[in-house]
Amino acid sequence: MTMTMMMGVHCLHLTQKLNNTLSRFDSTANTRFRRNLPSVIYNDQKLSKSSFVCGNIYRVVSALVSEDQAAETSSFRNDSFKLTYLEANGWLWEVGGVKILVDPVLVGSLDLGHRLIYSASNKYLKNFQLTDLPEIDCLLITQYVSDHCHVKTLRPLSQMLPNLKVIAPPNAKPLLDPIFSNVIYLEPGQTSEIESNNSSTVKIRAITGPVIVPWQRPENAYIVTSPQRQLSLYYEGHCLYDKEIVGKERADIVITTVVKQFIPGYTFTSGQEDAVELAKLLNSKYVVPLKNGELDSKGVLASLLKSDGTIELFKELLSKELPDVKTLEPIPGVPFHIP
């Protein structure tokens, strides 16, 4: 068998394997291509043409591989989370083309009743403006208290985006109803979906969060699931949770506090061992420490506030208990992707 014939047999074999692929082309051209291929290849006098045909087949294979890789890459990106920390409890999340603004404190100071009691402002994003935000698809609120539901920020935001979809716990209704017209109040166990411009759908499900005051219902924690359901994120800003409830959930990413903050007789945020336990209960792969205590603060409450633990100590605890789980520290204003 001549070299040309060997090349012809090889190309014919490839052609047969690509029958399903070739069906995407025009049927007449496809039939002509397959009918003429053997006569072209087996003719020793037409080596250059046989090489041309074989080259075309290889190019088809290469193109298909590229298309498959592109599809896989697109699916991968569609299911990754792009996270930007906005200080305090604030975040901007992007997943599947959906942009979610979470608990923003971006306008004015954060006051708990009175400036003399507690007043705080962002330490790094001092010049950040609402107009610096991209187009937002949803505002997600976890609690009714001002470090999560910050009216000074939400009122001008509603003027910029009057039809913005808002998801919040029922406790926030007295604050949000006068400001926004498109609010969905989720009870624990309830779900809402957000659709992006590219028809991707992101699911947000509320689960039981912390109880702020004994006579009110619990606030919300949330699990956000990517369009392909390959990646999920758990968010609650105090590391206060019910082990029995959380133990029934799964989340690849956990955003929570890892440093404890408290005053005598009251815990504002937990962390350290409790944050490790949370990641274990959720079978998580990543923990993103929430640095909501790193603000420029003053007032009586600020002077009484104590901290227990550090991020570095948390990393040590996590590495001993869950060595495969990664800690990803956010930098305010700098986006990062997971995975």
Please tell me whether residues 165 and 209 are part of one structural domain.
Answer: yes
Q: Is the pLDDT of residue 1 over 70?
A: no
The predicted structure's pLDDT at residue 149: 97
In the block, residue with structure tokens 């411009």: 197
Please tell me whether residues 18 and 120 are part of one structural domain.
Answer: no
What order of strands is seen across the sheet that includes strand 306-308?
Answer: 266-269, 260-263, 306-308
Q: Is residue 124 part of a domain?
A: yes
Please tell me whether residues 53 and 106 are part of one structural domain.
Answer: no
Please tell me whether residues 242 and 296 are part of one structural domain.
Answer: yes
Please tell me whether residues 87 and 69 are part of one structural domain.
Answer: no
**What's the number of domains the chain is made of?**
2
Residues 6 or more apart whose CB falls under 8 angstroms from that of 146 comprise 110, 111, 112
Q: Where does a domain end: 44, 76, 108? A: 76
Q: Is residue 57 part of a domain?
A: yes
Model confidence pLDDT, tens digit, residues 161-183: 999 999 999 999 999 999 999 99
- In this prediction, residues 119-137 reach a mean pLDDT of 94
Q: Is the pLDDT of residue 257 over 50?
A: yes
Q: Is residue 338 part of a domain?
A: no
Q: Is residue 337 part of a domain?
A: no
Share of the chain above pLDDT 90, in %: 66
Please tell me whether residues 69 and 125 are part of one structural domain.
Answer: no
Whole-structure pTM value: 0.77
Please tell me whether residues 97 and 65 are part of one structural domain.
Answer: no
Q: Is residue 335 part of a domain?
A: no
pLDDT band at 246 (very low <50, low <70, confident <90, very high): very high
Please tell me whether residues 91 and 67 are part of one structural domain.
Answer: no
Name the residue type at position 274: D
The predicted structure's pLDDT at residue 198: 81
Q: Domain residues for 33?
A: 3-76
What gap in Å lies between CA 189 and CA 207, rounded to an integer? 6
- In this prediction, residues 80-90 reach a mean pLDDT of 97
pLDDT band at 143 (very low <50, low <70, confident <90, very high): very high
Q: Which of 7-11, 55-59, 139-143 has the highest mean pLDDT?
A: 139-143
Please tell me whether residues 37 and 92 are part of one structural domain.
Answer: no
Q: Where does a domain end: 76, 110, 133? A: 76
Model confidence pLDDT, tens digit, residues 180-212: 999 999 999 999 999 987 888 999 999 999 998
Q: Where does a domain end: 51, 76, 101? A: 76
Please tell me whether residues 148 and 254 are part of one structural domain.
Answer: yes
Q: Is residue 269 part of a domain?
A: yes
The CATH number covering residue 275 comes to 3.60.15.10
Using a CB cutoff of 8 Å and minimum separation of 24, what contacts does 107-111 make? 107/150, 107/152, 107/153, 107/156, 108/152, 108/153, 109/152, 110/146, 110/147, 110/150, 110/295, 111/146
The predicted structure's pLDDT at residue 213: 86
Q: Is the pLDDT of residue 279 over 80?
A: yes
Model confidence pLDDT, tens digit, residues 296-337: 988 888 889 999 999 999 999 999 999 999 999 999 999 999
The predicted structure's pLDDT at residue 49: 36
Please tell me whether residues 44 and 155 are part of one structural domain.
Answer: no
DSSP 1-66: --HHHHHHHHHHHHHHHTHHHHTTS-HHHHHHHHHHHHHHHT-GGGHHHHHHHHHHHHHHHHHHHH
Q: Dihedral angle at the C-alpha atoms of 28, 33, 34, 39, nearest 10 degrees? A: 130
The predicted structure's pLDDT at residue 77: 59
Model confidence pLDDT, tens digit, residues 87-103: 999 999 999 999 999 99
Please tell me whether residues 52 and 90 are part of one structural domain.
Answer: no
Q: Is residue 61 part of a domain?
A: yes
Q: Is residue 103 part of a domain?
A: yes
Model confidence pLDDT, tens digit, residues 10-63: 333 433 433 443 333 333 334 333 333 333 333 333 333 333 333 433 333 333
